[in-house]
Structure 1
Amino acid sequence: MKDILLAVWRYRHFVTSSVVNEMRARFARSKLGATWVILQPLTQAVIYAVVFSQVLGARMPGVSDRYAYGVYLLAGILGWSLFSEILSRSINVFVDNAQLLRKIVFPRMCLPVIVAGTALVNAGLLFIAIFAVLLVLGHLPGPQVLWLPFLAILVVALGLGLGIFLGVLNVFVRDVAQTMVVVLQIWFWMTPVVYFSAVLPAGFRKVLEFNPMFPVIVGFQNVVVFNKPPPFADLAWVAALAVALLGVSLFVFRRASNQMVDVL
Protein backbone atom coordinates (compact mmCIF):
# COMPACT_ATOMS: atom_id res chain seq x y z
CA MET A 1 0.00 0.00 0.00
CA LYS A 2 2.94 2.29 0.66
CA ASP A 3 4.05 1.97 -2.97
CA ILE A 4 0.59 3.12 -4.15
CA LEU A 5 0.82 6.28 -2.06
CA LEU A 6 4.39 6.95 -3.20
CA ALA A 7 3.34 6.52 -6.83
CA VAL A 8 0.55 9.07 -6.38
CA TRP A 9 3.02 11.46 -4.73
CA ARG A 10 5.44 11.12 -7.66
CA TYR A 11 2.56 12.02 -9.99
CA ARG A 12 1.35 14.92 -7.82
CA HIS A 13 1.95 17.42 -10.64
CA PHE A 14 -0.17 15.26 -12.94
CA VAL A 15 -2.93 15.26 -10.31
CA THR A 16 -2.76 19.03 -9.85
CA SER A 17 -2.77 19.76 -13.59
CA SER A 18 -5.66 17.34 -14.09
CA VAL A 19 -7.75 19.16 -11.46
CA VAL A 20 -6.95 22.51 -13.10
CA ASN A 21 -7.72 21.18 -16.60
CA GLU A 22 -11.00 19.65 -15.43
CA MET A 23 -12.12 22.96 -13.93
CA ARG A 24 -11.09 24.84 -17.07
CA ALA A 25 -12.87 22.37 -19.35
CA ARG A 26 -16.01 22.61 -17.24
CA PHE A 27 -16.17 26.39 -17.58
CA ALA A 28 -14.56 26.84 -21.00
CA ARG A 29 -17.78 27.52 -22.91
CA SER A 30 -19.89 28.64 -19.98
CA LYS A 31 -20.68 32.33 -19.56
CA LEU A 32 -21.51 31.85 -15.89
CA GLY A 33 -18.33 29.85 -15.20
CA ALA A 34 -17.89 28.79 -11.58
CA THR A 35 -21.39 30.02 -10.78
CA TRP A 36 -22.78 26.67 -11.96
CA VAL A 37 -20.77 24.86 -9.27
CA ILE A 38 -22.49 26.75 -6.46
CA LEU A 39 -25.88 27.33 -8.09
CA GLN A 40 -27.29 23.82 -7.59
CA PRO A 41 -26.51 23.41 -3.86
CA LEU A 42 -27.52 27.01 -3.13
CA THR A 43 -30.78 26.54 -5.01
CA GLN A 44 -31.43 23.35 -3.07
CA ALA A 45 -30.75 25.16 0.20
CA VAL A 46 -33.09 28.03 -0.71
CA ILE A 47 -35.89 25.60 -1.63
CA TYR A 48 -35.52 23.69 1.63
CA ALA A 49 -35.31 26.92 3.60
CA VAL A 50 -38.54 28.24 2.05
CA VAL A 51 -40.42 24.97 2.40
CA PHE A 52 -39.31 24.16 5.94
CA SER A 53 -39.13 27.67 7.37
CA GLN A 54 -42.14 29.29 5.75
CA VAL A 55 -44.46 26.41 4.85
CA LEU A 56 -43.72 23.93 7.65
CA GLY A 57 -42.76 26.54 10.21
CA ALA A 58 -39.37 25.08 11.10
CA ARG A 59 -37.47 27.16 13.63
CA MET A 60 -34.13 26.78 15.33
CA PRO A 61 -34.65 25.62 18.93
CA GLY A 62 -34.20 28.64 21.20
CA VAL A 63 -33.40 31.01 18.31
CA SER A 64 -35.88 33.63 17.11
CA ASP A 65 -33.86 34.91 14.13
CA ARG A 66 -35.90 34.18 10.99
CA TYR A 67 -32.72 33.55 8.99
CA ALA A 68 -31.24 31.08 11.49
CA TYR A 69 -32.66 28.01 9.78
CA GLY A 70 -31.30 29.12 6.41
CA VAL A 71 -27.81 29.49 7.92
CA TYR A 72 -28.12 26.07 9.58
CA LEU A 73 -29.16 24.56 6.26
CA LEU A 74 -26.29 26.12 4.32
CA ALA A 75 -23.78 24.71 6.82
CA GLY A 76 -25.18 21.20 6.40
CA ILE A 77 -25.32 21.48 2.60
CA LEU A 78 -21.63 22.50 2.56
CA GLY A 79 -20.52 19.30 4.31
CA TRP A 80 -22.94 16.96 2.57
CA SER A 81 -22.25 18.23 -0.97
CA LEU A 82 -18.50 17.60 -0.53
CA PHE A 83 -19.10 14.05 0.72
CA SER A 84 -21.72 13.11 -1.87
CA GLU A 85 -19.65 14.45 -4.78
CA ILE A 86 -16.54 12.52 -3.76
CA LEU A 87 -18.45 9.31 -3.11
CA SER A 88 -20.66 9.36 -6.21
CA ARG A 89 -17.83 10.30 -8.58
CA SER A 90 -15.33 7.86 -7.04
CA ILE A 91 -17.74 4.98 -7.60
CA ASN A 92 -17.74 5.65 -11.36
CA VAL A 93 -14.21 6.99 -11.78
CA PHE A 94 -12.60 3.77 -13.08
CA VAL A 95 -15.50 2.94 -15.41
CA ASP A 96 -15.71 6.48 -16.77
CA ASN A 97 -11.97 6.54 -17.49
CA ALA A 98 -11.74 3.06 -19.03
CA GLN A 99 -10.21 4.31 -22.29
CA LEU A 100 -7.60 6.34 -20.42
CA LEU A 101 -6.64 3.35 -18.27
CA ARG A 102 -6.15 1.17 -21.34
CA LYS A 103 -4.02 3.64 -23.31
CA ILE A 104 -1.87 5.50 -20.75
CA VAL A 105 0.39 4.09 -18.06
CA PHE A 106 0.08 6.02 -14.81
CA PRO A 107 -0.87 5.23 -11.19
CA ARG A 108 -4.59 4.43 -11.36
CA MET A 109 -5.05 5.69 -7.82
CA CYS A 110 -4.49 9.18 -9.19
CA LEU A 111 -8.04 9.15 -10.58
CA PRO A 112 -9.93 9.18 -7.25
CA VAL A 113 -7.37 11.68 -5.89
CA ILE A 114 -8.21 13.97 -8.81
CA VAL A 115 -11.89 13.53 -7.97
CA ALA A 116 -11.21 14.58 -4.37
CA GLY A 117 -9.17 17.57 -5.50
CA THR A 118 -11.91 18.79 -7.83
CA ALA A 119 -14.53 18.29 -5.12
CA LEU A 120 -12.43 20.36 -2.68
CA VAL A 121 -12.20 23.19 -5.21
CA ASN A 122 -15.97 23.06 -5.69
CA ALA A 123 -16.49 23.06 -1.92
CA GLY A 124 -14.17 26.06 -1.60
CA LEU A 125 -16.18 27.99 -4.19
CA LEU A 126 -19.40 27.00 -2.44
CA PHE A 127 -18.01 28.16 0.91
CA ILE A 128 -17.13 31.56 -0.58
CA ALA A 129 -20.71 31.86 -1.87
CA ILE A 130 -22.14 30.77 1.48
CA PHE A 131 -19.85 33.19 3.31
CA ALA A 132 -21.16 36.02 1.10
CA VAL A 133 -24.75 34.98 1.87
CA LEU A 134 -23.98 34.91 5.60
CA LEU A 135 -22.56 38.43 5.39
CA VAL A 136 -25.75 39.63 3.71
CA LEU A 137 -27.82 37.94 6.43
CA GLY A 138 -25.66 39.53 9.11
CA HIS A 139 -24.33 36.21 10.43
CA LEU A 140 -20.54 36.44 10.42
CA PRO A 141 -18.95 33.10 11.44
CA GLY A 142 -16.73 33.21 14.53
CA PRO A 143 -13.18 31.89 15.01
CA GLN A 144 -14.44 28.30 15.32
CA VAL A 145 -14.88 28.33 11.53
CA LEU A 146 -11.13 27.61 11.39
CA TRP A 147 -12.04 23.98 12.16
CA LEU A 148 -13.59 23.67 8.67
CA PRO A 149 -10.37 22.41 7.01
CA PHE A 150 -10.14 19.62 9.62
CA LEU A 151 -13.75 18.64 8.93
CA ALA A 152 -13.15 18.80 5.16
CA ILE A 153 -10.14 16.45 5.46
CA LEU A 154 -12.27 14.03 7.47
CA VAL A 155 -15.01 14.14 4.82
CA VAL A 156 -12.47 13.55 2.03
CA ALA A 157 -10.96 10.57 3.87
CA LEU A 158 -14.37 9.05 4.52
CA GLY A 159 -15.60 9.68 0.97
CA LEU A 160 -12.46 8.28 -0.64
CA GLY A 161 -12.28 5.30 1.69
CA LEU A 162 -15.79 4.21 0.80
CA GLY A 163 -15.69 5.50 -2.78
CA ILE A 164 -12.51 3.67 -3.85
CA PHE A 165 -13.78 0.38 -2.44
CA LEU A 166 -17.14 0.73 -4.19
CA GLY A 167 -15.41 2.04 -7.33
CA VAL A 168 -13.36 -1.16 -7.62
CA LEU A 169 -16.46 -3.25 -6.94
CA ASN A 170 -18.39 -1.28 -9.57
CA VAL A 171 -15.90 -2.35 -12.24
CA PHE A 172 -16.98 -5.97 -11.74
CA VAL A 173 -20.62 -5.43 -10.68
CA ARG A 174 -22.10 -2.40 -12.46
CA ASP A 175 -25.24 -2.38 -10.31
CA VAL A 176 -23.20 -0.86 -7.49
CA ALA A 177 -23.36 2.64 -8.95
CA GLN A 178 -27.13 2.47 -9.49
CA THR A 179 -27.70 1.10 -6.01
CA MET A 180 -25.65 3.87 -4.41
CA VAL A 181 -27.79 6.55 -6.07
CA VAL A 182 -30.71 5.27 -4.00
CA VAL A 183 -28.56 4.71 -0.90
CA LEU A 184 -27.27 8.30 -1.02
CA GLN A 185 -30.83 9.63 -1.13
CA ILE A 186 -31.74 7.63 1.97
CA TRP A 187 -28.44 8.53 3.61
CA PHE A 188 -29.14 12.23 3.11
CA TRP A 189 -32.38 12.01 5.10
CA MET A 190 -30.65 10.00 7.84
CA THR A 191 -28.26 12.94 8.30
CA PRO A 192 -29.32 16.16 10.09
CA VAL A 193 -28.95 18.50 7.12
CA VAL A 194 -32.52 19.80 6.85
CA TYR A 195 -33.73 18.97 10.35
CA PHE A 196 -32.39 19.65 13.84
CA SER A 197 -30.56 16.82 15.57
CA ALA A 198 -31.46 18.31 18.97
CA VAL A 199 -35.20 17.75 18.49
CA LEU A 200 -34.95 14.08 17.54
CA PRO A 201 -36.34 11.53 20.03
CA ALA A 202 -33.51 10.14 22.13
CA GLY A 203 -33.94 6.56 20.92
CA PHE A 204 -34.10 7.54 17.25
CA ARG A 205 -31.10 9.82 17.63
CA LYS A 206 -29.07 6.96 19.12
CA VAL A 207 -29.78 4.90 16.01
CA LEU A 208 -28.89 7.74 13.63
CA GLU A 209 -25.63 8.40 15.45
CA PHE A 210 -24.29 5.18 13.94
CA ASN A 211 -24.33 7.14 10.68
CA PRO A 212 -20.73 8.45 10.34
CA MET A 213 -21.93 11.60 8.57
CA PHE A 214 -24.15 12.51 11.54
CA PRO A 215 -21.39 13.95 13.77
CA VAL A 216 -19.57 15.35 10.75
CA ILE A 217 -22.55 17.47 9.67
CA VAL A 218 -23.16 18.47 13.29
CA GLY A 219 -19.54 19.64 13.29
CA PHE A 220 -20.12 21.83 10.22
CA GLN A 221 -23.22 23.29 11.86
CA ASN A 222 -21.42 23.88 15.15
CA VAL A 223 -18.58 25.90 13.64
CA VAL A 224 -20.64 27.87 11.09
CA VAL A 225 -23.90 28.46 12.97
CA PHE A 226 -23.21 28.24 16.70
CA ASN A 227 -19.49 29.22 16.81
CA LYS A 228 -18.78 26.05 18.77
CA PRO A 229 -16.00 23.48 18.24
CA PRO A 230 -16.85 20.23 16.44
CA PRO A 231 -17.93 17.26 18.60
CA PHE A 232 -14.45 15.74 18.78
CA ALA A 233 -15.49 12.81 20.98
CA ASP A 234 -18.08 11.74 18.40
CA LEU A 235 -15.73 12.40 15.50
CA ALA A 236 -12.99 10.16 16.90
CA TRP A 237 -14.68 6.94 15.78
CA VAL A 238 -15.49 8.50 12.39
CA ALA A 239 -11.80 9.31 11.89
CA ALA A 240 -10.87 5.73 12.87
CA LEU A 241 -13.49 4.40 10.44
CA ALA A 242 -12.17 6.62 7.63
CA VAL A 243 -8.60 5.39 8.16
CA ALA A 244 -9.78 1.76 8.26
CA LEU A 245 -11.82 2.23 5.07
CA LEU A 246 -8.84 3.79 3.30
CA GLY A 247 -6.65 0.86 4.35
CA VAL A 248 -9.17 -1.73 3.16
CA SER A 249 -9.79 0.18 -0.08
CA LEU A 250 -6.09 0.37 -0.92
CA PHE A 251 -5.70 -3.35 -0.17
CA VAL A 252 -8.67 -4.28 -2.39
CA PHE A 253 -7.50 -1.91 -5.13
CA ARG A 254 -4.04 -3.44 -5.15
CA ARG A 255 -5.40 -6.99 -5.32
CA ALA A 256 -7.87 -6.16 -8.12
CA SER A 257 -5.82 -3.61 -10.07
CA ASN A 258 -4.56 -6.00 -12.77
CA GLN A 259 -7.97 -7.55 -13.39
CA MET A 260 -9.70 -4.16 -13.56
CA VAL A 261 -8.21 -3.15 -16.90
CA ASP A 262 -9.08 -6.53 -18.44
CA VAL A 263 -12.70 -6.21 -17.33
CA LEU A 264 -12.93 -2.58 -18.48
Structure 2
Amino acid sequence: MIKDIISNKKLITKLAKNDFKQKFAGSTLGVIWAFVQPVITVVVYWIVFDKALNAGTQGTKAGIQAPFVLWLSAGIVPWFYFSEVLSAGTVVLHEYNYLVKKVVFPINILPVVKAVSSLFVHGFFVLFTLAVYLLYGFSVTPYILQVIYYSISMMALTIGLIYFTSALCVFFKDMAQLINIILQVGVWATPIMWNYDGMVGKMPHWLAYALKLNPMYYITSGYRDAFIGQTAFWNRPVLTLYFWIFTLLIFLLGSHVFKKLQPQFADAL
Protein backbone atom coordinates (compact mmCIF):
# COMPACT_ATOMS: atom_id res chain seq x y z
CA MET A 1 0.00 0.00 0.00
CA ILE A 2 2.78 2.41 0.86
CA LYS A 3 4.42 1.62 -2.48
CA ASP A 4 1.13 2.37 -4.29
CA ILE A 5 0.76 5.66 -2.43
CA ILE A 6 4.27 6.79 -3.37
CA SER A 7 4.02 5.70 -7.01
CA ASN A 8 0.63 7.41 -7.44
CA LYS A 9 1.45 10.65 -5.62
CA LYS A 10 0.66 12.81 -8.69
CA LEU A 11 -2.71 11.10 -9.14
CA ILE A 12 -3.46 11.55 -5.42
CA THR A 13 -2.68 15.27 -5.64
CA LYS A 14 -4.89 15.70 -8.71
CA LEU A 15 -7.80 13.78 -7.19
CA ALA A 16 -7.41 15.68 -3.90
CA LYS A 17 -7.68 19.03 -5.68
CA ASN A 18 -10.76 17.86 -7.57
CA ASP A 19 -12.28 16.44 -4.39
CA PHE A 20 -11.80 19.76 -2.59
CA LYS A 21 -13.46 21.70 -5.42
CA GLN A 22 -16.25 19.18 -5.88
CA LYS A 23 -17.48 19.56 -2.29
CA PHE A 24 -18.73 23.06 -3.04
CA ALA A 25 -19.48 22.79 -6.77
CA GLY A 26 -22.66 24.64 -7.66
CA SER A 27 -22.71 26.91 -4.60
CA THR A 28 -22.42 30.67 -5.08
CA LEU A 29 -19.44 31.17 -2.78
CA GLY A 30 -17.77 27.90 -3.76
CA VAL A 31 -14.76 26.86 -1.69
CA ILE A 32 -15.15 29.89 0.59
CA TRP A 33 -17.67 27.82 2.55
CA ALA A 34 -14.85 25.46 3.53
CA PHE A 35 -13.27 28.27 5.54
CA VAL A 36 -16.38 30.05 6.82
CA GLN A 37 -17.85 27.25 8.96
CA PRO A 38 -14.73 26.57 11.10
CA VAL A 39 -14.22 30.31 11.65
CA ILE A 40 -17.82 30.68 12.83
CA THR A 41 -17.35 27.67 15.14
CA VAL A 42 -14.26 29.21 16.76
CA VAL A 43 -16.06 32.55 17.19
CA VAL A 44 -19.08 30.88 18.83
CA TYR A 45 -16.88 28.90 21.25
CA TRP A 46 -14.91 32.06 22.03
CA ILE A 47 -18.11 34.01 22.84
CA VAL A 48 -19.55 31.20 24.97
CA PHE A 49 -16.44 30.26 26.94
CA ASP A 50 -14.44 33.47 27.04
CA LYS A 51 -17.16 36.12 27.21
CA ALA A 52 -20.24 34.39 28.64
CA LEU A 53 -18.49 31.95 31.00
CA ASN A 54 -15.47 34.20 31.61
CA ALA A 55 -12.87 31.51 30.96
CA GLY A 56 -10.09 34.13 31.05
CA THR A 57 -6.56 32.99 30.31
CA GLN A 58 -5.25 29.44 30.19
CA GLY A 59 -1.83 28.39 31.46
CA THR A 60 0.65 25.75 30.35
CA LYS A 61 3.12 23.64 32.30
CA ALA A 62 5.79 26.16 31.29
CA GLY A 63 3.80 28.87 33.08
CA ILE A 64 2.87 30.74 29.90
CA GLN A 65 -0.56 32.37 30.00
CA ALA A 66 -2.62 32.84 26.83
CA PRO A 67 -6.07 34.34 26.16
CA PHE A 68 -8.70 31.65 25.88
CA VAL A 69 -9.38 32.27 22.18
CA LEU A 70 -5.71 31.60 21.35
CA TRP A 71 -5.56 28.55 23.58
CA LEU A 72 -8.79 27.21 22.05
CA SER A 73 -7.70 27.85 18.45
CA ALA A 74 -4.45 25.92 18.86
CA GLY A 75 -6.38 22.86 20.04
CA ILE A 76 -9.41 22.99 17.79
CA VAL A 77 -7.58 23.50 14.47
CA PRO A 78 -6.18 19.93 14.41
CA TRP A 79 -9.54 18.57 15.56
CA PHE A 80 -11.24 20.21 12.55
CA TYR A 81 -8.89 18.29 10.27
CA PHE A 82 -9.18 14.98 12.15
CA SER A 83 -12.98 15.00 12.31
CA GLU A 84 -13.35 16.10 8.68
CA VAL A 85 -11.01 13.41 7.34
CA LEU A 86 -12.44 10.62 9.51
CA SER A 87 -16.08 11.36 8.65
CA ALA A 88 -15.44 11.96 4.93
CA GLY A 89 -12.90 9.14 4.63
CA THR A 90 -15.27 6.58 6.12
CA VAL A 91 -17.64 6.94 3.13
CA VAL A 92 -14.96 7.50 0.49
CA LEU A 93 -15.53 4.12 -1.21
CA HIS A 94 -19.25 4.87 -1.55
CA GLU A 95 -18.50 8.33 -2.90
CA TYR A 96 -16.04 7.01 -5.47
CA ASN A 97 -17.82 3.73 -6.21
CA TYR A 98 -17.41 4.32 -9.97
CA LEU A 99 -13.63 4.17 -9.47
CA VAL A 100 -13.85 1.19 -7.13
CA LYS A 101 -15.55 -0.81 -9.88
CA LYS A 102 -12.71 -0.13 -12.31
CA VAL A 103 -10.42 -3.14 -12.37
CA VAL A 104 -7.21 -1.21 -13.07
CA PHE A 105 -7.71 1.68 -10.63
CA PRO A 106 -5.61 1.60 -7.41
CA ILE A 107 -8.49 2.07 -4.98
CA ASN A 108 -6.20 1.88 -1.95
CA ILE A 109 -5.18 5.48 -2.64
CA LEU A 110 -8.73 6.82 -2.13
CA PRO A 111 -8.45 7.14 1.69
CA VAL A 112 -5.21 9.08 1.15
CA VAL A 113 -7.00 11.39 -1.31
CA LYS A 114 -9.40 12.43 1.46
CA ALA A 115 -6.54 13.05 3.87
CA VAL A 116 -4.72 15.24 1.33
CA SER A 117 -7.89 17.06 0.25
CA SER A 118 -8.53 18.32 3.79
CA LEU A 119 -4.97 19.66 4.06
CA PHE A 120 -5.94 22.73 2.02
CA VAL A 121 -8.33 24.01 4.69
CA HIS A 122 -6.04 22.84 7.49
CA GLY A 123 -3.11 24.80 6.08
CA PHE A 124 -5.30 27.91 5.89
CA PHE A 125 -6.34 27.60 9.52
CA VAL A 126 -2.80 27.11 10.72
CA LEU A 127 -1.89 30.40 9.02
CA PHE A 128 -5.09 32.02 10.31
CA THR A 129 -4.30 30.96 13.88
CA LEU A 130 -0.73 32.19 13.52
CA ALA A 131 -2.03 35.59 12.32
CA VAL A 132 -4.34 35.83 15.35
CA TYR A 133 -1.41 35.08 17.67
CA LEU A 134 0.62 37.84 16.04
CA LEU A 135 -2.28 40.29 16.46
CA TYR A 136 -2.37 39.44 20.18
CA GLY A 137 1.32 40.28 20.45
CA PHE A 138 2.76 36.76 20.62
CA SER A 139 6.08 36.35 18.84
CA VAL A 140 6.86 33.60 16.34
CA THR A 141 9.44 31.11 17.61
CA PRO A 142 11.14 28.12 15.90
CA TYR A 143 8.80 25.86 17.87
CA ILE A 144 6.04 26.76 15.41
CA LEU A 145 7.76 24.52 12.85
CA GLN A 146 6.58 21.58 14.92
CA VAL A 147 3.14 22.12 13.41
CA ILE A 148 4.52 20.38 10.31
CA TYR A 149 5.58 17.37 12.37
CA TYR A 150 2.25 17.17 14.22
CA SER A 151 0.29 17.59 10.96
CA ILE A 152 2.18 14.65 9.43
CA SER A 153 1.61 12.64 12.61
CA MET A 154 -2.12 13.35 12.56
CA MET A 155 -2.31 12.53 8.86
CA ALA A 156 -0.63 9.16 9.44
CA LEU A 157 -3.11 8.38 12.23
CA THR A 158 -6.19 9.33 10.19
CA ILE A 159 -5.10 7.39 7.10
CA GLY A 160 -4.75 4.23 9.17
CA LEU A 161 -8.15 4.81 10.74
CA ILE A 162 -10.00 5.43 7.47
CA TYR A 163 -8.46 2.38 5.83
CA PHE A 164 -10.25 0.45 8.56
CA THR A 165 -13.53 2.41 8.70
CA SER A 166 -13.97 2.83 4.92
CA ALA A 167 -13.51 -0.92 4.34
CA LEU A 168 -16.10 -1.80 7.00
CA CYS A 169 -18.50 0.89 5.79
CA VAL A 170 -18.89 -0.92 2.45
CA PHE A 171 -20.61 -3.81 4.27
CA PHE A 172 -21.86 -1.98 7.36
CA LYS A 173 -23.31 1.35 6.21
CA ASP A 174 -24.14 2.39 9.77
CA MET A 175 -20.39 2.79 10.32
CA ALA A 176 -20.66 6.41 9.09
CA GLN A 177 -23.26 7.23 11.76
CA LEU A 178 -21.21 5.42 14.40
CA ILE A 179 -18.14 7.49 13.52
CA ASN A 180 -20.14 10.72 13.82
CA ILE A 181 -21.25 9.72 17.32
CA ILE A 182 -17.68 8.81 18.29
CA LEU A 183 -16.51 12.22 17.05
CA GLN A 184 -19.20 13.99 19.08
CA VAL A 185 -17.97 12.23 22.21
CA GLY A 186 -14.32 12.55 21.20
CA VAL A 187 -14.34 16.33 20.97
CA TRP A 188 -15.13 16.44 24.70
CA ALA A 189 -12.88 13.52 25.66
CA THR A 190 -9.99 15.40 24.05
CA PRO A 191 -8.72 18.49 25.94
CA ILE A 192 -9.85 21.04 23.37
CA MET A 193 -12.37 23.15 25.26
CA TRP A 194 -10.90 22.30 28.66
CA ASN A 195 -7.38 22.47 30.07
CA TYR A 196 -5.88 19.08 30.96
CA ASP A 197 -2.96 20.63 32.88
CA GLY A 198 -5.38 22.66 34.98
CA MET A 199 -7.62 19.69 35.83
CA VAL A 200 -5.11 16.85 36.23
CA GLY A 201 -4.93 17.34 40.00
CA LYS A 202 -8.72 17.44 40.31
CA MET A 203 -9.43 14.04 38.70
CA PRO A 204 -8.56 10.45 39.68
CA HIS A 205 -5.12 9.32 38.56
CA TRP A 206 -6.53 6.48 36.48
CA LEU A 207 -8.74 8.92 34.55
CA ALA A 208 -5.82 11.29 33.94
CA TYR A 209 -3.78 8.43 32.46
CA ALA A 210 -6.76 7.13 30.46
CA LEU A 211 -7.29 10.51 28.81
CA LYS A 212 -3.67 10.51 27.68
CA LEU A 213 -4.29 7.25 25.81
CA ASN A 214 -6.41 9.21 23.36
CA PRO A 215 -3.97 9.78 20.44
CA MET A 216 -5.56 13.16 19.74
CA TYR A 217 -4.40 14.29 23.18
CA TYR A 218 -0.85 14.05 21.83
CA ILE A 219 -1.78 16.04 18.70
CA THR A 220 -3.77 18.85 20.36
CA SER A 221 -1.17 19.20 23.12
CA GLY A 222 1.52 19.28 20.45
CA TYR A 223 -0.17 22.11 18.56
CA ARG A 224 -0.40 24.08 21.79
CA ASP A 225 3.26 23.34 22.48
CA ALA A 226 4.09 24.73 19.05
CA PHE A 227 1.95 27.87 19.37
CA ILE A 228 2.08 28.60 23.10
CA GLY A 229 4.08 26.22 25.28
CA GLN A 230 7.35 26.37 23.34
CA THR A 231 8.06 22.72 24.14
CA ALA A 232 9.74 20.34 21.68
CA PHE A 233 8.13 16.99 20.94
CA TRP A 234 11.29 15.13 21.93
CA ASN A 235 10.75 16.45 25.46
CA ARG A 236 7.75 14.09 25.59
CA PRO A 237 9.57 10.84 24.72
CA VAL A 238 7.14 8.40 26.37
CA LEU A 239 4.05 10.02 24.85
CA THR A 240 5.73 10.31 21.45
CA LEU A 241 6.74 6.64 21.49
CA TYR A 242 3.22 5.60 22.54
CA PHE A 243 1.62 7.68 19.79
CA TRP A 244 3.76 6.20 17.01
CA ILE A 245 3.35 2.62 18.25
CA PHE A 246 -0.43 3.17 18.39
CA THR A 247 -0.44 4.80 14.91
CA LEU A 248 1.65 1.99 13.42
CA LEU A 249 -0.66 -0.67 14.87
CA ILE A 250 -3.73 1.18 13.57
CA PHE A 251 -2.17 1.50 10.12
CA LEU A 252 -1.26 -2.20 10.03
CA LEU A 253 -4.74 -3.20 11.19
CA GLY A 254 -6.50 -0.81 8.82
CA SER A 255 -4.44 -1.75 5.77
CA HIS A 256 -4.83 -5.48 6.55
CA VAL A 257 -8.62 -5.23 6.80
CA PHE A 258 -8.78 -3.05 3.67
CA LYS A 259 -6.66 -5.49 1.67
CA LYS A 260 -8.64 -8.53 2.86
CA LEU A 261 -12.01 -7.01 1.96
CA GLN A 262 -10.91 -5.22 -1.23
CA PRO A 263 -11.82 -8.04 -3.66
CA GLN A 264 -15.46 -7.81 -2.48
CA PHE A 265 -15.82 -4.02 -2.69
CA ALA A 266 -17.06 -3.87 -6.29
CA ASP A 267 -19.76 -6.49 -5.71
CA ALA A 268 -20.94 -4.92 -2.44
CA LEU A 269 -21.17 -1.44 -3.98
Return the offset for 1:25: 3.9
Return the offset for 1:100: 2.4
Matches within 5 A, 1:120-199: 120-199=119-198
Distance in 1, Cα, partners of 2:36 & 2:241: 33
Conserved in 2, the CA contact under 8 Å of 1:90 and 1:163?
A: yes
Distance in 1, Cα, partners of 2:135 & 2:47: 17
- Residue 5 of structure 2 aligns with an amino acid whose one-letter code is V
Q: CA RMSD in A?
A: 2.3
Match of 1:35 in 2: 32
**Among residues 243, 247, 264, which one is paired with 1:242 in the alignment?**
247
Distance in 1, Cα, partners of 2:131 & 2:46: 17
Distance in 2, Cα, partners of 1:24 & 1:194: 31
Conserved in 1, the CA contact under 8 Å of 2:72 and 2:193?
A: yes
Return the offset for 1:104: 6.1
Distance in 2, Cα, partners of 1:95 & 1:223: 37
Matches within 5 A, 1:7-156: 7-26=4-23, 32=29, 34-61=31-58, 68-103=67-102, 105-156=104-155
Conserved in 1, the CA contact under 8 Å of 2:157 and 2:247?
A: yes
Moved more, 184-193 or 158-167: 158-167
- Tell me the TM-score normalized by structure 2: 0.89
- Residue 81 of structure 2 aligns with an amino acid whose one-letter code is L
Match of 2:267 in 1: 262
Conserved in 2, the CA contact under 8 Å of 1:58 and 1:69?
A: yes
Superposed CA offset, 1:118-169 (max 9, x none): 1122211111222222222222332101111111111111111111101101
Conserved in 1, the CA contact under 8 Å of 2:59 and 2:65?
A: no
**Secondary structure of the corresponding residue to residue 91 of structure 2:** helix
In the alignment of these two chains, the number of paired residues is 261
- Residue 134 of structure 1 aligns with an amino acid whose one-letter code is Y
- Tell me the TM-score normalized by structure 1: 0.90
Distance in 2, Cα, partners of 1:88 & 1:140: 35
Q: Does 1:218 align with 2:217?
A: no
Return the offset for 1:235: 2.4
Structure 1: 5+ residue runs without aligned partners?
none
Conserved in 2, the CA contact under 8 Å of 1:84 and 1:159?
A: no
**Secondary structure of the corresponding residue to residue 109 of structure 1:** helix
Conserved in 1, the CA contact under 8 Å of 2:58 and 2:65?
A: no
Conserved in 2, the CA contact under 8 Å of 1:151 and 1:219?
A: yes
Distance in 2, Cα, partners of 1:174 & 1:85: 18
Distance in 2, Cα, partners of 1:79 & 1:120: 10
**Secondary structure of the corresponding residue to residue 174 of structure 1:** coil
Return the offset for 1:99: 2.2
Structure 2: 5+ residue runs without aligned partners?
none
- Residue 15 of structure 2 aligns with an amino acid whose one-letter code is S
